[in-house]
Chain A
Amino acid sequence: MNNQLYVGKAKTILATEDQNQVIVKFDDRITAGDGAKKADIGGKGFTNCRISVILFKILEKYQINTHLIEDIGDIMLKCHKLEILPIEVICRNISAGSFCRRYGVEEGRLFDEPLIEFFLKNDELHDPLLSEGSIISLKMATKIQLEILAAIALRVNTVLQNIFRQLNLELVDFKLEFGYNQNGSLLLGDEISPDSMRLWQLNQDGEKIIFDKDIFRKDLGDVLSGYNEVLQRLNNLEQPIIEVKPYSFKIDVFLKDGVIDAQGEVIKRAIQRLGFNNFEEIKTGKSFKINIDTINSEILMTLEKLAEELLANPLIETWNISLV
């Protein structure tokens, strides 16, 4: 077909008449080890497409903006055309996969808090782990942009974890990809399916049943029947009401260097009276926490304007925005 824009490992992107929209076609191909292991599994594309639609629609209810425009049935979704970020966002609740190999730990360790990791989307380099510092140095994203990606991923995690627990499945980890549409809106892209997540059923007797791509990676049996089971349970889902935390931005305001901080000087003297003499300088500041329900493309600009025009006096103060 000549309207193919891109052929990926498990999906094909087709052009539409509208240059801002594409058709995402879910293929039957399945790969592992950065494409080293391949197979065609008839029906896998259908199952993953159906699972993705269900999950995207659930996520939209929790103000997570996805690239889905319309479900056109079977193996195809009409989606916003995205400029995909080269960063894969991984969220882990339980240790598994590359995490265990990298740090030499056993699978199945339950984390106190979900862990967010970033990886470079590059098969040739085997999708290496990215530190926050290297992402910023390589100008792939700013610190606050990364914090936003992490915050969205954590909200996705809260929703999916709840959903799968309803289905007696434990969400071990998952991968998200993000991109910007033509309006500059940050949208969740790609797919959300057992190809991009680990799902375990943990039985009372300690038995662990795997429902994700590890069945294929580790030759544990019929991968499609695992995926179909996930779809079937999702089809019978009674949707729970899930409490999601608002996105909590923090704006710190400090006096600029060179502006005398009279309060800081008084506090410094009090500290010296306590016997600590090696503090060079104490700077006082203000901190504002701003909770919002949804992250749209204007949010950073809005917060910057807020900081510049209201919360800080730029003549004497500096400000910094972060997400907590």
Chain B
Amino acid sequence: MKIAIIRFPGTNNEHELIRYVNTYSKHEPILITNNNYHQLDNMDRIIIAGGFSYGDYLRPGIIAAKSPIGKKIKELSLSSIPILGICNGFQILCETGILPGVLTKNLSTRFISKMINLKVQSKSPYFINSDQNNTLQLPIAHYEGNYYCSHETLLELKKKGQIAFQYSSPTGQISDEYNPNGSINSIAGIYNADKTVLGLMPHPERASDPLLGSSDGRIIIDTFLGDFHVN
């Protein structure tokens, strides 16, 4: 498979992802930028890497969302090509309107970089489908990860099972105590209605080996790459 890894000016997580795909899969990672984005038509998977696209000017993700790549991704999202947006990639997916809601400043007004626990709230064949993993441990690193949406949207997300991950205790309990950034309903990641698109604030690509503190990220990315098998 061809795995598109999107780099905007200011993206800084593309190397981890390229290395990930080369190390843990037989697939071909292809770096996509403003210069070669027409190749997106021939991709099997798209990953929007984290970072600070366009310096986070205006609002995180907005300039990227309105760029030619952003428009192309929006078009492709309708054709059911699986798309994974990590951190800034999640912010971009929200600003394009592919995913509902928006990510605002952390309630603490601090940049937060730490390991957190997630409860798997809803599964998707493209992102997480194992019955064995109800909680994951992944790192977060963001200033604007406070997910917000209207009350109506939240009801809709719940009804359609679009809430993928919630911040939780190690055993999967949800409460404000475990919510690092003030996200509504402790939301850490959501799907589109078809569950072919996932946006999440935590970084699965930074949790690929026990040496890094956790290898739970592999459950998500290997599933996304079609390579995850329950041992």
Contacts and interface: CB of A to CB of B under 8 A. Distances in A.
Most buried by B among A263, A309, A311, A316: A316
B102 interface: yes
A321 to B, nearest CB: 17
A315 B149 contact: yes
Interface in B3-55: none
A263 B105 CA distance: 8
Given A310-B62, A313-B102, A316-B102, A262 B107 contact: yes
A263 B109 contact: yes
A272 to B, nearest CB: 16
Given A310-B58, A310-B66, A315 B102 contact: yes
Nearest to B63: A310
A262 B105 CA distance: 7
Nearest first, the 3 closest Cβ-Cβ pairs linking A and B are A262-B109, A262-B105, A315-B102
Contacts of B105: 262-263
B199 interface: no
Contact of A315 (B58, B62, B101): B101
Which of A260, A263, A265 counts the most chain B CB atoms within 10 A? A260
B89 to A, nearest CB: 17
A299 interface: no
**Max chain B C-beta neighbours (<10 A), residue from A260, A266, A311, A315:** A315
A316 B211 CA distance: 40
Interface in A238-279: 259-260, 262-263, 265-266
Interface in A127-164: none
A259 B109 contact: no
B12 to A, nearest CB: 24
Interface in A286-324: 286, 309-311, 313, 315-316
A95 B93 CA distance: 58
A313 B109 contact: no
B202 interface: no
Contacts of B95: 313
A309 B97 CA distance: 11
B178 interface: no
A306 to B, nearest CB: 11
Nearest to A267: B109
Interface of A: 259-260, 262-263, 265-266, 286, 309-311, 313, 315-316
Contact of A262 (B58, B102, B106): B106
B204 interface: no
B58 A311 contact: yes
B94 to A, nearest CB: 9
A260 B102 CA distance: 13
B104 interface: yes
Contacts of A259: 104, 148
Contacts of B146: 262
Contacts of B149: 315
Contacts of A266: 109
Nearest to A261: B105
Nearest to B106: A262
Given A266-B109, A315-B101, A316-B104, 14 more contacts: A259-B104, A259-B148, A260-B182, A262-B105, A262-B107, A262-B108, A262-B109, A265-B109, A310-B58, A311-B58, A313-B62, A315-B148, A316-B102, A316-B148
A33 to B, nearest CB: 56
Interface in B50-96: 58-59, 62, 66, 95
Interface in B96-123: 101-102, 104-109
Contacts of B108: 262
A103 to B, nearest CB: 46
A259 B147 CA distance: 12
B84 to A, nearest CB: 22
B171 interface: no
B150 interface: yes
Contacts of B148: 259, 315-316
A313 B102 CA distance: 8
Contacts of A313: 59, 62, 95, 102
A311 B62 CA distance: 9
16 contacts: A260-B107, A262-B104, A262-B106, A262-B107, A262-B108, A262-B109, A262-B146, A262-B182, A310-B62, A310-B66, A311-B58, A313-B95, A315-B101, A315-B102, A315-B149, A316-B102
Contacts of A260: 107, 182
Contacts of A262: 104-109, 146, 182
Contacts of A311: 58
B146 to A, nearest CB: 8
Contacts of B102: 313, 315-316
Nearest to B101: A315
A311 B106 CA distance: 20
A317 to B, nearest CB: 9
A281 to B, nearest CB: 16
A265 B110 CA distance: 13
B104 to A, nearest CB: 6
Contacts of B182: 260, 262
A70 B146 CA distance: 60
